[in-house]
Structure 1
């Protein structure tokens, strides 16, 4: 890592010719009264944050350049061949000539669920109440997970969509599934770009991770 990072040392305030620093409560504390370990921790945190700022800015620039490059290629193909590169939503997968490197752009819808979801839950609960104990345990588990709100108040979307694939003839169940579909609102979209490589054209793809948690 380059040593030209945007690292800022602990800011000090001159009071009567002596250096003071602010604590977490906004109080001025004489630098000489701060424990050496606390100063060492402060220096380490500021140094790492400096690197993190640089890396974040670099990734943002890289992301922008990647979208520009993909967009330019799409525009060129549209101009020269009158054809659109990619799907209707903007999804596109581009592979190197030797088949060992791939760039994928994916556009995912941002969803929220309307009040119809509560009606769906009531209908599903009515079905579950009439089913004999022990029957369709797998479906019961999916229902529990689908409507279980997480810490951030979000519905488990993956389990909810799995519920839509369950085929049950009960009219209330069918109405519940329709209510779920009617509750879905598309409120926007988010574009992702992913990178993969492999050793040969028939080898297994490996993700090139940029996510810090997965690196």
Structure 2
């Protein structure tokens, strides 16, 4: 027989409060300071939930409105824009406000990264005497795991900026590019206001930054 671990909602009689274990405790047995703390936490938590819901609604509206505006702008030039990729900056007519929509993709590498690493290792063995220590350090550091044991994608992709003409290196760079797999994406909307000095300052929606 399975036990029901879900907490049931019960009507709390007047003059009682429910403790963390679900027991009903008479208020006369609860210290005034504990009652005051309970009321403060409940009031602030209720307000936080209301603001959270408003912020969630604003986020949905902002993304939808920006997407609709992009499509409207495209239709004016009889161009169809498909998908949701791409960063967009929208400016108020007088430049006082700026809104940026950013799409941040999460990527990982598939098994082709191992083929790229084997080609790079072959190059390093042959270049041991001739390659500069700086290049070897950059290559070895790129494949170093982070603290969570994951490949640092940014460092690996940065190898493609190295100007190395070796045919094996070029094949390795192709393999790295083909090994990239997009596993998810997040969209962000950031709003800025121009200050008296002409610089755009973020309108912070994170309580920690207000």
TM-score normalized by structure 2? 0.68
Q: Indicate conservation of the 8 Å contact 1:12/1:20, yes or no.
A: no
Q: Indicate conservation of the 8 Å contact 1:116/1:182, yes or no.
A: yes
Distance 1:77 1:176, change over 3 A: closer
Q: Return 5+ residue gaps in structure 1 as ranges.
A: 1-10
- Say which SS state the counterpart of residue 102 (structure 2) adopts: strand
What's the offset of the Cα at 1:195? 1.8
What's the offset of the Cα at 1:211? 3.9
Residue by residue over 1:51-81, the C-alpha shift from the partner in whole angstroms, topping out at 9 and shown as x without a partner, is: 5433332221111111232233234434555
1:199 corresponding residue in structure 2: 195
Q: Indicate conservation of the 8 Å contact 2:91/2:98, yes or no.
A: yes
Q: Return 5+ residue gaps in structure 2 as ranges.
A: 1-8
1:69 corresponding residue in structure 2: 65
What's the offset of the Cα at 1:177? 1.4
2:41, 2:84 → 1: CA distance? 45
What's the offset of the Cα at 1:44? 7.1
Residue by residue over 1:13-66, the C-alpha shift from the partner in whole angstroms, topping out at 9 and shown as x without a partner, is: 99xxx977346xxx97x8999999999988777666545433332221111111
1:129, 1:37 → 2: CA distance? 71
Cα RMSD of the aligned pairs, angstroms, is: 4.2
TM-score normalized by structure 1? 0.66
2:119 corresponding residue in structure 1: 123
Mapping for residues 121-200 of structure 1, pairs under 5 Å? 121-132=117-128, 135-199=131-195
Distance 1:122 1:60, change over 3 A: same
Distance 1:145 1:20, change over 3 A: same
What's the offset of the Cα at 1:147? 1.8
